[in-house]
Amino acid sequence: MGSMRTLKASDGHELGAYEAIPEGTQRGSLVVIQEIFGVNSHMQQVCDGFAAEGYLAIAPAVFDRVEPGVDLGYTPEDIERGRNLMGQLSWRNTILDVEAAADAVSGDKRPGIIGYCYGGSVAWVAACRLDLTCAVSYYGGMIIDFVDETPKCPTMLHFGEKDAGIPMSDVKEIVKKHPEVTTHTYAEAEHGFNCDDRGSYHDTDAKLALERTNAFFFQQFL
């Protein structure tokens, strides 16, 4: 359904992006931010899924700042490599890349943003710093590092209560500081519960979270 295109950030950096265009009437646009595995087949499928819901979905390859065309699987070696790549990124540059993607698909309304894992944290920071219509974050473990920043748009968060990398104490602090943000937790879900290519995939919770996400986006783009 989608295809690759090239974006240019305001600092001159060129990066790839996967773009999925909806058939028929376009409801709005979404910037989709990857996990630590690059814009791989799963992230492309996520974009295709949102395109099927009527959204122009674009996933900027934010790892291109370090290494172009990263496309990883989910082995322990892939996870280690992905974490290493993530550690070489700067927040400033990543937000520039997000802004480039947002500008590329902005229509009558600014796009929304959705991110997973690393991308879930990026979605939070982008919601706080950029002009976006709305934001959704799945298990953003670094949101706690930016908890003193406030999203400038309606925002929804999803967390798994069995996520070994995100203590529920962090989630409670986020909820306490940001009661205006819609936060959902899932009792049986681990980190990565939305990704059906991972062992941590939880079918029931993934479907519920997606239903909530789609309803949220529908409301924001009315």
Range 122-149 average pLDDT = 98
| Rounded Cα gap, residues 218 and 184, in angstroms | 18
pLDDT of residue 1: 72
- Rounded to two decimals, the pTM is 0.98
Residue 121 has pLDDT above 90, yes or no: yes
The active-site residue out of 117, 128, 134, 195 is: 117
| Rounded Cα gap, residues 110 and 162, in angstroms | 34
Active site residue 191: yes
Active site residue 195: no
Percent of the chain with pLDDT over 70: 100
Q: What angle do CA 24, 26, 27 make, to 5 degrees?
A: 130
**pLDDT tens-digit profile of 101-118?**
999 999 889 999 999 999
The active-site residue out of 97, 163, 170, 205 is: 163
Which of 59, 67, 72 lies closest to 88, judged by CA?
67
pLDDT of residue 82: 97
Residue 46 has pLDDT above 90, yes or no: yes
Rg (CA), the chain: 16
Strand ranges for the chain from DSSP E: 2-8, 14-20, 28-33, 55-60, 112-116, 135-138, 155-160, 182-186
CATH number of 11's domain? 3.40.50.1820
Residue 75 has pLDDT above 80, yes or no: yes
pLDDT of residue 107: 86
Range 176-184 average pLDDT = 98
| Rounded Cα gap, residues 72 and 65, in angstroms | 16
The active-site residue out of 42, 158, 178, 191 is: 191
Domain that holds residue 175: 2-220
Range 17-37 average pLDDT = 97
Domain count, the chain: 1
Active site residue 205: no
